[in-house]
Amino acid sequence: MARRHNSLRIALEAVHQSRALAACYLLFLMTGCVATTTPAPAPGPESSLDKIIDDYETSGPSDGTAKIAVLLPLSGPYADIGRQLLDASVLAMFDRGDETVELLPRDTEGTADGAASAVQTAISEGANVVVGPLFSHSVTAIKPHLRKANIRAIALSNNRAVAGSPVYLIGNQPEPQIDALTTYLRESGKRRIALLGPDTSYLRLLRNRLIQADKVGNIQLVDSRLYSTDASYTDISKQVRAITQYDKRTAALDDFTSIFESAWEAHEEPEEAMELALGQLEERVAAVRVQQAAFVLGGEKAREWTVSEVEYGTALTELMALYERNTTDEKTPQETMAEALTEFRLRETLGEIDLDAVILPISGQPLLVIAPMFEYFNATRPDVWMVGTDVWDTAELLEKKDLFGSRYVTAASENWPGFQSRMESAFQYRPAQLVTSAYDAVALALLEKQETGGLAFDEMYLTREQGFEGINGKFGFLPDGVARRMLHIVQLRDEGRQHLYAWEPSSDPTIESTASDADPSKIAPPLPSTEQRQGTPPISFLENQGQSGG
């Protein structure tokens, strides 16, 4: 038995040696898009981790066992997230494993060559199936070896370009996240969308999906800006300034106030000054009418912005109210108007911003720096929503008050808090949400072994219509190897995340579907009742109830 899990201990020791890294960064897809992960303190000699492994080691003899190879970056720059994924895999074995299945952790070093070497070692040691690797280049590297050995893998990548026999992807893909977001935003009356982020493959993919949504009329992509990955604070600030049309709106305020300033300078009598000002204001309104008519008739898609007739009227009413409030017998009309204009200019801009929501698919410190820029340029909440993708799903960001009120899309279901607590209790750190994919993949292998008596990631089993229920909620696999799963829109609040909206894809992953017309039976049977679930492990893969679902 000591021989049986020697490889597991070696892998864990390698990870523990990397604890000097205070944080590390996880590449999403094949891109340069970076998300910070929660640093994982190394467990002490008497930790829960050691107890779990010791319990697992005493579970039975190794002869005749089936083997799940887990390929993870256990050394190198991504060792921290690799360790978290391994911990989740061990927890799945502890929850659902028995003496008939063995875990074979192997280090990919976070590279394609390392992954190729790791899978060859695992195959030579009798691996029946593979969980991992994490990065798309590593998935590509192991495919030839999997085909030669005729075994399948559930990889943790979310790059659908590397999906397909013999690899299934359990990662949360970007395209459905955009579909879920645009559906939710449209149904919330937030149709005018802007996108801002670094110029990476990940952001370009998201932008292309938004362009598709714009073409079919789901939303209006008002602006889309990708800044250089080495852009400075000033460079990014200029992009935010442009997205918010700040210069045009400040110019509109200057023009409006100058009309009244010059009119009151030209005439001592308020009636004459007001008549001159209203005449000039009417010229502005007439120009707006001409501009709007030309825009409609021309059918242009270019972004157009102007102060509307209604907004001019509202501004006039507000300015006159300030004038009346400042009027006294001791002041001349010119002095009164000067004071009213000074107070009116505190609004900084004139004209409604033509944005309903800004999608910021960035994480960590960059997000905490960029999000407040929109408030600075008068794109204020709650009028303009700040919206994110699942790269926001880190423990650090969930606690930042600057983001409270913002929304993002995540795969995390109601199962996540309980799982997070178990991981924190067992390993003394708060895991990244990504680690649930490793738990779900290993647990799925164990479920297949229990239900069918075999361990092969059989295609018919993985693609069964009712799917599965995991830590990440309902999910299943399509024949092309891509995962389909329920997604959730959540709002950050001081009391934690609040679930606002559930979205399920159609059976065709290229077709957007709303939550209201999605058929739950296409994904998984209904969840067990609360009473049934209280005594179960943190993942409850539902029993196969046939093709009819629940």
pLDDT at 549: 29
Nearest Cα to 547, choosing from 528, 529, 523? 523
pLDDT at 14: 39
Which of 51-60, 392-401, 509-518 has the highest average model confidence (pLDDT)? 392-401
| pLDDT band with cut points at 50, 70 and 90 for residue 65 | confident
Structure tokens at 293: 């008519």
- The answer, yes or no, to whether residue 226 has pLDDT greater than 70, is yes
Determine the 3-state secondary structure of 133 from DSSP.
coil
What is the rounded average pLDDT of the residues 508-519? 33
- The answer, yes or no, to whether residue 298 has pLDDT greater than 50, is no
What is the rounded average pLDDT of the residues 171-192? 94
What percentage of residues in the chain have a pLDDT greater than 90?
62
Q: How far apart are the first and last CA of the chain?
A: 41
* DSSP code per residue over 424-475: HHHHSSPPPGGGHHHHHHHHHHHHHHHHHS--S--HHHHT-TT-EEETTEEE
| pLDDT band with cut points at 50, 70 and 90 for residue 355 | very high
Residue type, 527: L
CA gap 327, 520 in Å, rounded: 65
pLDDT tens per residue, range 101-114: 999 999 999 999 99
- The answer, yes or no, to whether residue 539 has pLDDT greater than 80, is no
- The answer, yes or no, to whether residue 417 has pLDDT greater than 80, is yes
**How many CB atoms sit inside 10 A of residue 171's CB?**
25
Q: List the single range of 13-17, 320-324, 345-349 with lowest mean pLDDT.
A: 13-17
| pLDDT band with cut points at 50, 70 and 90 for residue 288 | confident
What is the rounded average pLDDT of the residues 453-479? 92
CA gap 526, 506 in Å, rounded: 17
What is the rounded average pLDDT of the residues 460-478? 90
- The answer, yes or no, to whether residue 38 has pLDDT greater than 50, is no
pLDDT at 397: 77
pLDDT at 350: 93
Tell the residue number behind the tokens 């649930």, with chain if given.
436
pLDDT at 197: 97
List beta partners, residue 197.
226
The whole-model pTM stands at: 0.74
What is the rounded average pLDDT of the residues 130-141? 96
What is the rounded average pLDDT of the residues 250-266? 94
- The answer, yes or no, to whether residue 30 has pLDDT greater than 50, is no
pLDDT tens per residue, range 418-448: 998 999 999 999 898 889 999 999 999 999 9
What is the rounded average pLDDT of the residues 354-382? 93
- The answer, yes or no, to whether residue 396 has pLDDT greater than 90, is no
What is the rounded average pLDDT of the residues 299-309? 71
- Are domains 6-172+412-485+524-533 and 174-223+355-368+378-409 of this chain identical in fold? yes
Q: Which residues of 117-152 are buried (b: 16+ CB within 10 A; e: fewer)?
A: bbbebbbeeebbbbbbbbbbbbbbbbbebbeebebb
pLDDT at 203: 95
Q: Which CATH superfamily groups domain 6-172+412-485+524-533?
A: Response regulator (3.40.50.2300)
| pLDDT band with cut points at 50, 70 and 90 for residue 181 | very high
CA gap 495, 300 in Å, rounded: 45
- The answer, yes or no, to whether residue 270 has pLDDT greater than 80, is yes
CA gap 403, 407 in Å, rounded: 9
Strands (E), 108-190: 129-131, 153-155, 167-169
Sequence ranges of the domains in the chain: 6-172+412-485+524-533, 174-223+355-368+378-409, 246-347
Which of 194-208, 382-396, 412-426 has the highest average model confidence (pLDDT)? 194-208
Q: Which CATH superfamily groups domain 174-223+355-368+378-409?
A: Response regulator (3.40.50.2300)
What is the rounded average pLDDT of the residues 320-333? 91
- The answer, yes or no, to whether residue 514 has pLDDT greater than 50, is no
